[in-house]
Amino acid sequence: MAETPATPATPTAIAEPAKPDKGGYWRGTGRRKTAIARVRVKPGAGVYTINGKEVNTYFTEPRDRNFALAPLNATKTNAKLDVLVQVHGGGYAGQAGAVLLGVSRALKNYDPALEPILRDNDMLTRDDRKVERKKPGQSGARKRFQFSKR
């Protein structure tokens, strides 16, 4: 039985940058708990709007604001890109997490060279935790009714 010669290892191909849509935007979708964020990114003056409001107006808590701005700060693209976000569902913390993931995915589509920076900061990993449902015959998801021996 003749052995086939081993094929030389080919270096992994660098991802081809995605093309922008008709409006010149790169898109990304982020989800967290029940919040969904649709993000569009395009080169510009650094305007960041969420549901038509400035990011500082929409997220009043510093923690949530830092979550939303983290991908741009990590990649140092906050003054070069315009970011438009439509987010709905969930609360402020869930929406901030959804925006973080959506912006990170849009940046990865915009420039694949930014992916290692985003991966190292855990910004491309979806947090899939959700609220556990209430079970029948119990007062909550895990809590039971009080047990009475007599």
Q: State residue 41's pLDDT score.
A: 96
Q: State residue 109's pLDDT score.
A: 95
> Which one is predicted more confidently, 146 or 51?
51
Q: State residue 9's pLDDT score.
A: 58
- What DSSP line would sit under 83-100, residue for residue? EEEEEESS-HHHHHHHHH
Cβ of 122: how many Cβ atoms within 10 Å? Answer: 10
In a domain, 76, yes or no: yes
Average pLDDT estimate for 76-99: 95
- What DSSP line would sit under 39-75, residue for residue? EEEEESS--EEETTEEHHHH--SHHHHHHHHHHHHHH
Average pLDDT estimate for 62-87: 95
In a domain, 17, yes or no: no
Q: Residue 61: give its domain's CATH number.
A: 3.30.230.10
Q: State residue 129's pLDDT score.
A: 93
In a domain, 77, yes or no: yes
Answer yes or no: are the C-beta atoms of 85 and 49 closer than 8 Å. Answer: yes
Answer yes or no: are the C-beta atoms of 146 and 110 closer than 8 Å. Answer: no
In a domain, 98, yes or no: yes
Q: Which domain holds residue 44?
A: 26-120
**How many domains are there within the chain?**
1
In a domain, 42, yes or no: yes
Q: State residue 31's pLDDT score.
A: 97
Answer yes or no: are the C-beta atoms of 83 and 75 closer than 8 Å. Answer: no
Q: State residue 46's pLDDT score.
A: 93
Q: How confident is the model at residue 43 (pLDDT cuts 50, 70, 90)?
A: very high
In a domain, 74, yes or no: yes
What's the mean pLDDT when you consider all of the chain? 90
In a domain, 144, yes or no: no
Q: How confident is the model at residue 111 (pLDDT cuts 50, 70, 90)?
A: very high
In a domain, 129, yes or no: no
Average pLDDT estimate for 121-138: 94
